[in-house]
Amino acid sequence: MERLTAIARELGRLTVSGAPEGYDAYVVVEAAARSNGLVVFVGADDTHANAMCETVRFFAPNLKVHEFPAWDCLPYDRVSPRSDIESRRLATLASLAARGDDAGPALLVTTINALLQRVPPRDYVLQASFVAAAGQDVDVAGLTMFLARNGYVRTGTVREPGEQAVRGGIIDLWPPGEDEPLRLDFFGDRLETIRTFNAGTQLSHGTLNRITLLPASEAPLDSASISRFRTGYVARFGAV
């Protein structure tokens, strides 16, 4: 117990060796609880990070755990990262950006690859959100622009995080951090209801009073950002 207290009170980087696999999760949990702050665990790969998350939830089911995986593709690759990975990353970034100094114990589990990858500025994550409440007027044009600018892919049917579908006065979308997609039912500019629905059956089964939408992409997709990217890409790699 004295060693755990010493680990929790140590400032900066500390090397702890000799902890068997599984017990290292207990050490991390105790460090977060005794320091009453945020502890960062960096795993060698996704397998190690996932095992840490499962073990931590066994030792401390009430501890707030933020998962921050790496992309499953390379920057400038011809394919985008999986939508569920970007969803988890953006939800974690939003939680960390809004986290106060007195937020209590929490654990951030990530990997070496994710730690080395650049992320959006904190101010961008804090400002890039859209709040809507049931029973109130909503700027539908502004909401549609927000979805397009922040990486929501327009589809006929929403089945994965980061997708949106517009059908008259109904907007279906799946924001990052949500377990299920949302169905926004409008009457004119009035947001009548916010319902959750099953992505497989498309049937609604729950209601929400208020939502905060986050970007679906870590890269802003407004016209200025796209133009800046194209200019930088040509300067770096030449015309394609």
pLDDT in tens, the chain (240 residues): 667 777 766 666 667 777 777 788 888 888 888 888 888 889 889 999 999 999 999 989 999 999 999 998 887 778 888 878 888 888 899 888 888 877 889 999 999 999 998 888 888 887 777 888 999 999 888 898 888 888 888 999 999 888 999 988 999 999 887 889 999 999 999 999 999 999 999 999 889 998 888 888 887 777 788 888 889 889 988 887
Per-residue pLDDT, 130: 85
Q: Structure tokens of 222?
A: 């407004």
Per-residue pLDDT, 165: 94
Quickly list H helices, 117-220.
122-127, 140-149
Q: Quick one: DSSP state of residue 70?
A: P
Name the pairing type of β-strands 170-173 and 163-167.
antiparallel
Burial of 4 (0-12, 13-18, 19+ CB in 10 A): middle
The C-alpha atoms of residue 176 and residue 160 are separated, in whole angstroms, by: 10
* Residue among 143, 92, 132 at smallest CA distance from 212: 132
Residue pair 142/149 in contact by the 8 Å Cβ criterion: no
The C-alpha atoms of residue 13 and residue 11 are separated, in whole angstroms, by: 7
pTM (predicted TM-score): 0.74
Q: Quick one: DSSP state of residue 13?
A: -
Per-residue pLDDT, 11: 66
Per-residue pLDDT, 8: 67
